[in-house]
Chains A and B, each alone.
Chain A
Amino acid sequence: MLYQLKIAFRYLSAGLVQTGLLVLGVAVGVFVFVFMSALIGGLAVYLVNQTVGNIAHVTITAPERTPAVLYGPDEGALVAIEKSNARSAQIRSSAETIRTLRQMQGVSAISEEITGNGFVTRGDIVKPVGIIGVLPDKLSAIADVKSRLIAGSGDLPIGSILIGKTLAEDLGVGPGQSLRLTSDKGVDSALTIAGIFTFGIDRLDARTAYVNLKTARGLLGVKYGVTQIELRLDDLWAAPDFAKRAAAVTGLDATPWTANNTQLLSGLQAQARSGTIIKGFALITIVIGVASALLLSTYRRRSEIGIMRAMGAGKGFVIGVFVLQGALIGLGGGLVGAGLAYLALSPFPPPSEISTGSLPIDIGQGGFGLAIALTLAGAILASILPARTAARVDPVTVISQ
């Protein structure tokens, strides 16, 4: 093997320009592979941050109360089941549930909430809002509201309200001013605007209002417990599995974020597939490039191969020489391409810190090791055909030419 490696290296170094171009071609393929991995990965992080960054990874709610059916169709009865709309489902033993959830692995934040709908009124202007009642210290546990404040403060004493930028503009109000909030239970209250936030998503900025949990309790008529518990996880992609476990442990409904974002998920999957196809083409290009270059080398060195065979080199020896050439090209191209990609991608900030319009490059998802390993494997694979062709060279034929 050592001697075959020497011959392989000598063959490659004999044609430095040709080998250099070949390695450069492989390096470009590896660069594309790494760049696409970092871009697709970065895009996914960016999109998820933008869309999921401000929502719960798992939401725990009380199960819907379905009336018990006393007579079934088999007994000749016509059964009509109506959903109970008398009052919203509540998690009455919320403290115990939170204790249980907190003990589960992978939970990074928990916030108990009372949610409902209502209208804000300012003069003649009436706007619908989604009311979220939270504990003041949990205001930023799920969505980082405090960092999104553009006016006022994030303190949320009883009798105060935080509203979005669009809603504030529609109502023409600012911090310190008051407005009237009427819940869908018919309870209304005059609240002081504590602050104004923006998530950069118009739907949220126009329709969301945060109030103190105690304020929400009165407005929405929830005397005990809460209506939902929201959780953030260390790994947001673990949400579906976590939700199953949480439902089993608490006996409540647990909805992962993925259940309500199927379009985003399918978009991310399509994006990942596109990236895989492009990376696949890059690898195929590498394989074809290496195979054709080595086939050419096989033809050019036929007489040398013949003489090697005459000197007692077996077919395995010749195959080894050409496979090692492929491996050296793959390794060299892989390392050069990965190195260039690292240098080119390093200046990009992480996707979580980029400004609008910048390329979301996540260098951590560049797959450098995978790119080198796949290139090496691809180059070895590509060299097998030329190597077998070389091993089949008939010494008598080529020596007599």
Chain B
Amino acid sequence: MTADDTLLSTKAITKSYGSGDAAQQVLKGIDLTIEKGSLVALQGRSGSGKSTLLSILGTLLKPSGGSYEMLGTDLVDIPEHALADFRNSHLGFVFQFHHLLPDFTALENVVFPAAVSAGRETLKARRRARELLEQVGLADRVDYRATELSGGQKQRVAIARALMNAPELVLADEPTGNLDRESADQVMDLIDTINGDIGTTFLISTHDEKIAARCHDEIHLDEGQIFDA
């Protein structure tokens, strides 16, 4: 793997909550490198630190120690507004509970990341959002409100939203955890296709062995440490 292939790397990332005797160390020195275009499963038991690691990689949480670099940018010592801009441009999120904006249509939800950076919904952005919704099989649900969609449809809208600004990395936290098997397979098919066609990197936190088996790489986390990457 060359430096050009590296999307992100962390060195000795730690995260503790609380202080003094009550301090709880959730991550205990994570060294991690993820290549561009990879499809990686992050596995581990509940409480192993998966969500905390995803939050740190998603720049939603600051690590207590260590370094984190993505696309040549140091993401630990960076001002908050610059971090928000970086997140908007280079990162996408898919959560277990879709977290769509309920009062907005599918199209408006997908456009959101682009509108935040542009300050308005441009025609170009709306066109791209429509294409993405077609890509995830929701061309006929463009103007449906989030509350009018099924669980699987909502998650597909969330994936389209995550892809709106063409991010290099999409972090998915149990994206199929709240779906039935059929919907889960459809969502995973979609992620697989996007990863293959566009080359977007996915890091998927999951308990589901079947989902993990469809990924190219696996990271196993236990008690805040990677034991088999």
Contacts and interface: CB of A to CB of B under 8 A. Distances in A.
Interface of A: 1-3, 6, 10-11, 14, 303-304, 306-317, 395-396, 399-400
Given A396-B61, A399-B95, A2 B84 contact: no
B83 to A, nearest CB: 9
Contacts of B85: 312, 314
Given A3-B120, A6-B121, A399-B95, A309 B115 contact: no
B58 interface: yes
Interface stretch (B98-106, B177-185, B216-224): B98-106
B67 interface: no
A3 B60 contact: no
Interface string B89-127: 101010100011111100000001101111111000000
A312 B121 contact: no
A308 B103 CA distance: 14
A303 B55 CA distance: 15
B119 A1 contact: yes
B121 A3 contact: yes
Contact of B84 (A3, A312, A399): A312
Q: Quick one: which of B51, B93, B103 has the most chain A CB within 10 A? A: B103
Contact of A312 (B88, B100, B102): B88
Given A311-B87, A396-B55, 8 more contacts: A3-B121, A309-B84, A310-B58, A310-B93, A311-B93, A311-B113, A395-B60, A396-B60
Nearest to A5: B120
B71 to A, nearest CB: 15
20 contacts: A2-B119, A3-B115, A3-B116, A3-B118, A3-B120, A3-B121, A6-B121, A10-B104, A14-B102, A14-B103, A307-B93, A307-B100, A308-B101, A311-B87, A311-B113, A311-B116, A312-B84, A312-B87, A396-B61, A399-B99
Nearest to A317: B116
B81 interface: yes
B89 A2 contact: no
A313 B103 contact: no
A230 B118 CA distance: 70
A303 B99 CA distance: 7
A14 to B, nearest CB: 4
Nearest to A315: B80
B51 A400 contact: yes
Nearest to B54: A396
Contacts, number: 69
Contacts of A396: 55, 60-61
Interface of B: 51, 55, 58, 60-61, 80-81, 84-89, 91, 93, 95, 99-104, 112-113, 115-121, 161
A313 to B, nearest CB: 5
B79 to A, nearest CB: 10
B77 to A, nearest CB: 18
B99 A11 contact: no
Contacts of B87: 310-312
Nearest to A14: B103
Nearest to B61: A396
Give the 7 A-B residue pairs with the shortest CB-CB distance, closest first.
A312-B88, A14-B103, A2-B120, A314-B84, A307-B99, A312-B87, A311-B113
Contacts of A310: 58, 60, 87, 93
Contact of B103 (A11, A309, A395, A400): A11
A392 B143 CA distance: 31
A309 B91 CA distance: 12
A309 B113 CA distance: 10
B119 A313 contact: no
A391 to B, nearest CB: 11
Contact of B116 (A1, A308, A400): A308
A328 B119 CA distance: 19
Nearest to B164: A311
Given A3-B120, A10-B104, A307-B101, A312 B61 contact: no
A66 B116 CA distance: 83
Contacts of B117: 312
Nearest to B145: A14
A314 B89 CA distance: 13
A316 B95 CA distance: 24
B85 to A, nearest CB: 7
Nearest to B167: A312
A311 B58 contact: no
B17 to A, nearest CB: 11
Contacts of A11: 103
A392 B117 CA distance: 20
A308 B80 CA distance: 15
Contacts of B161: 311
A346 B84 CA distance: 53
Contacts of A308: 101, 112, 116
Contacts of B81: 314, 316
B45 to A, nearest CB: 16
B68 to A, nearest CB: 15
Nearest to A400: B51
